[in-house]
């Protein structure tokens, strides 16, 4: 990079909001984040987020990729590395023994071809967004490996998540701090994250119905019993919650292992239906 290009990098970073924005994207790695998520996490208006993202992209610090109706933004680590190398190439007058040759301590650069791998957004729906969908959100977040963003909502959201479910998740090491009960309407507006998958956990046989988001996302139904309707003893309730957790974990582990790159939309939908129906699926999505 020329000195003028390096100067543009540091000019773009000479603003507090952009530093916070870049640090957020660095934490997300190569998967990046949708512009709407960035605005929400940093408390920015959509127009302000777009302004600062554009400045970072002009400087070569980030890159954007369209995924459906969303724009995904991710850090260009090669630019960060180049800027760092520019500052340290003359370290200690060419004597790396004096400064530890700082630049060589950095890990190898990812290839530019693989630097942008947008994650899938997955929304779990149930009636009250208090137990089943909350549990699914927490599980997927823990096994996503940067490839999925998990969300949950309800058609008739309760005041707060089921305390027994939250306790179970916490005991198993899940981060429960951000879990809350909320309406599916939060994900129906124009500025909401665009969903790639919507998985309903409502039990239609028990008279529970979830809203229809139309044909854009891939949808599936994984009906599971509602713990709120179970009136057994504390031991029996604990057993039910354990079974719900185990069932969701098994299904989501199969889901995240599907070969998405080699499956079309109909094939993915069929695999999701198989997972929800309990049909055994072997590695690679084969029965």
Q: Could you tell me the domains of the chain? A: 3-114 (1.10.10.10), 120-285 (3.40.50.2300)
Least confident of 54-63, 120-129, 156-165, 234-243: 54-63
For residue 227, give every residue at least 6 positions away whose Cβ sits within 8 Å of its Cβ, in sequence order, or none: 131, 132, 162, 164, 165, 237, 240, 241, 244
Place of tokens 């665009």: 194
**pLDDT at residue 98, as a whole number:** 59
Give the predicted TM-score (pTM) of the model.
Answer: 0.58
Percent of the chain whose predicted confidence (pLDDT) is above 70: 79
Q: How would you classify the pairing of strands 120-126 and 148-154?
A: parallel
Task: Quote the tokens at residue 280.
Answer: 């055994």
Distance CA 286, CA 211 (A): 30
Residue 60 has φ and ψ, to the nearest 5°, of 80, 10
- 64-101: pLDDT as tens digits: 876 656 678 888 877 887 777 777 666 666 565 555 55
Q: How many CA atoms lie within 13 A of 149 on its CB side?
A: 18
For residue 172, pLDDT beyond 70: yes
Percentage of the chain surpassing pLDDT 90? 24
Most confidently modeled range among 188-197, 212-221, 244-253, 267-276: 244-253
| CA of residue 164 relative to chain centroid, distance | 25
């Amino acid at each position: 990079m020329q000195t003028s290009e390096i100067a543009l990098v540091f000019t773009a970073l000479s603003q507090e909001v952009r530093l916070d924005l870049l640090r957020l994207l660095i934490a997300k790695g190569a998967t990046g984040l949708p512009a709407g998520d960035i605005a929400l996490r940093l408390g920015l208006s959509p127009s302000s987020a777009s302004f600062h993202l554009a400045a970072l992209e002009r400087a070569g610090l980030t890159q954007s990729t369209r995924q459906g109706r969303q724009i995904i933004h991710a850090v260009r680590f090669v630019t960060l590395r180049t800027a760092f190398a520019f500052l340290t190439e003359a370290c200690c007058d060419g004597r790396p023994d004096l400064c530890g040759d700082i630049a060589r301590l950095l890990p190898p650069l990812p290839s530019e071809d693989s630097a942008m791998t947008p994650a899938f957004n997955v929304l779990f729906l149930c009636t009250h967004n208090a137990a089943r969908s909350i549990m699914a959100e927490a599980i997927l977040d823990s096994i996503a490996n940067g490839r999925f963003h998990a969300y949950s909502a309800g058609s008739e959201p309760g005041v707060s998540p089921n305390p027994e479910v939250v306790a179970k998740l916490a005991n198993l090491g899940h981060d429960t701090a951000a879990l809350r009960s909320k309406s599916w309407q939060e994900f129906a507006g124009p500025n909401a994250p665009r969903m790639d998958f919507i998985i309903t956990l409502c039990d239609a046989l028990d008279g529970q119905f979830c809203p229809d988001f139309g044909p854009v996302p891939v949808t599936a139904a994984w009906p599971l019993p509602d713990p709120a309707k179970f009136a057994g003893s504390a031991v029996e309730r604990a057993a039910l919650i354990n079974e719900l957790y185990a069932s969701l974990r098994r299904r989501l582990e199969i889901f995240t292992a599907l070969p998405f790159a080699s499956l079309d939309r109909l094939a993915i939908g069929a695999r999701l239906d198989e997972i929800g129906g309990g049909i055994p699926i072997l590695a690679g999505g084969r029965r």
